[in-house]
Amino acid sequence: MRYRPSPRHTCVAAATASSQRPQRTSPPRQALRWLAALAMLLPAGCDDIATTTAAADASSSDSADGAASTAAVKTWHRDVRPIIAARCAGCHKPGGIGPFDLSTFAAVKKTGAAVKFAIASRAMPPWHAGPEQAYKGDPSLSDAQIATIGSWVDGGMPEGDASQPGPELPDVAEKISRVDLTLGVPVAYTAKDIADDYRCFLLDWPETEELYVTGFNVVPDNKNIVHHVAAFLLSPDALGAAGAMTDLADLAKKEPGPGYACYGGPSGAAELIVPIQQLGQWVPGQQGNDFPTGTGIRVPPGSKIVLQMHYNMDFAKPGPDQTKIQLKLDKPAAIDRKGAFAPWLNAGWIGDLMKIPAGNASVTHEHTADPRGFWKAFVGGVDVSKGFVIHGGLLHMHTLGSWAEAFITRKDGSKVMILRTPKYDFNWQRLYMLTEPIIFHEGDKLTVRCNWDNSAGNQAVIDGKPPGTPKDVYWGEGSLQEMCVANLYISEL
């Protein structure tokens, strides 16, 4: 006979699994798979987590909830459906990346307890930026919305009256405003039948005049398995570009099927240092964005694009995929301030300075300096001599990463946070664009700081193999190596 946990115990277990989730990437994905399966069995109405939130916020209401949130009994049609439809069902629908369906009343009712936990713990919707700055496209739920879901679940999840639906929530996602060029995986690629398959594709840049990329989007093809996508630019002007283009093409030729295996970055092999720049980054739920007005990334003719795909098969079978990227392009005359993704890291880390000792559950490395000298090699064409504008960025580590941050220290010693990821999750790395850009002035310093957990309980599952024992970890492209990079989208002042 199967053991069926009591509701109370299940809730506690589920709450634990979901609160541990973001700290460790691979082991908790199994916990998650378990939790998602469990959610199907769960009776509704656990009383331990969100009730306190519900009580604390019951008196408050915000505009998105409208008048509905003050009503005593929460119902699906009036109070809950608008929130779930706008903030959950985009991924949690048949054929979406979310592990189960949340697009109908019946489906949500079945998973009610797990939904309440995921929302109360702010694990869902996925958003990994700290509260120090406001970013564009933030889908996070308000305290009042969280309380609404909690009290609906606790109240037995009544359906209510379909003829009196609550108001739809506004769509907060940013969008690309125009598509001028579409590039993509050249022939359908079928991901390997393992938990995570990372694949890079080297694409030709078809344009024959100098242009600027001013907007970026990804159109995922096989939405069941496309978990994150990064695009990189290899410009013929970069140091060593010709050799790098040949090396990458050779890699692709050597491997069966389209593309080549790659992991932390686009280079595909530990010994290949490729002079490559970030062009865009995407996770499910994003609909692309325009770069801040008047800024763009220069792409000369003869460039190559590396498209890096992360396929995740935790909840779905591998199938063919032909994902595409969409780009908005502008002529040089439309650009007032040149932009670039500028990577901030310590070059010494690549030369073994970033040791993460085996067994240590909290190891921090950080690097602080004026980045402009270092950036000459990366953002040659962008004039940062008088300072620069930071429009947003992303933080990159691998699966041991616990948290990371990038901040400025002003001449007077005050700190300005650019981006902090309190609970890093490799699967949810994305670009966070600031609503208010931050200016780096002469005399300021830039810090990137990363923290890892290299204890026995936090080892990654790679290619379906059981996690190994901790080893000293250093910088590298491999899945058992680590990185610490703040990739900032900057422009001229």
CA distance 58 to 234: 53
By CB under 6 A, tell whether 288 contacts ligand HEC.
Answer: no
By CB under 6 A, tell whether 114 contacts ligand HEC.
Answer: yes
By CB under 6 A, tell whether 268 contacts ligand HEC.
Answer: no
By CB under 6 A, tell whether 224 contacts ligand HEC.
Answer: no
CA distance 429 to 284: 11
- Selected binder of ligand HEC within 88, 345, 460, 488 (CB under 6 A): 88
Quick one: 118 or 231, whose CB is closer to ligand HEC? 118
Inter-CA distances, 211 with 62, 238, 241, 295, 348, Å: 44, 16, 19, 12, 34
Q: Tell me which amino acid residue 40 is.
A: M
CA distance 431 to 87: 18
Q: Is 394 helix (H, G, I), strand (E, B) or coil?
A: strand
Q: Is 42 helix (H, G, I), strand (E, B) or coil?
A: coil
Residue located via tokens 């809730």:
11
Residue located via tokens 């080893």:
471
In angstroms, give the least distance from the CB of 285 to ligand HEC. Answer: 3
In angstroms, give the least distance from the CB of 147 to ligand HEC. Answer: 13
Quick one: 224 or 326, whose CB is closer to ligand HEC? 224
Quick one: 147 or 382, whose CB is closer to ligand HEC? 147
Alpha helices (H) along 155-311: 241-254
CA distance 390 to 448: 14
Residues in contact with 368: Cβ distance below 8 Å, sequence separation at least 6, in sequence order? 409, 445, 446, 447
CA neighbor of 403 nearest in space, from 128, 111, 196:
128
- Selected binder of ligand HEC within 27, 82, 112, 125 (CB under 6 A): 125
- Selected binder of ligand HEC within 13, 20, 34, 36 (CB under 6 A): 36
CA 237 to chain centroid, in Å, comes to 30
Q: Of 96-104, 236-244, 269-277, 431-439, which part binds ligand HEC (CB under 6 A)?
A: 96-104
- Selected binder of ligand HEC within 123, 279, 342, 462 (CB under 6 A): 123
CA distance 427 to 227: 7
Quick one: 195 or 345, whose CB is closer to ligand HEC? 195
By CB under 6 A, tell whether 27 contacts ligand HEC.
Answer: no
By CB under 6 A, tell whether 284 contacts ligand HEC.
Answer: yes
Quick one: 124 or 234, whose CB is closer to ligand HEC? 124
Pairing of strands 260-261, 320-321: unpaired
Q: Give the contact letters, 425-464, x = binds to ligand HEC (CB under 6 A), - = no.
A: --x-------------------------------------
The residues binding ligand HEC (CB under 6 A) are 18, 21, 32, 35-36, 39, 87-88, 90-92, 97-99, 114-115, 118-119, 123-126, 284-285, 427
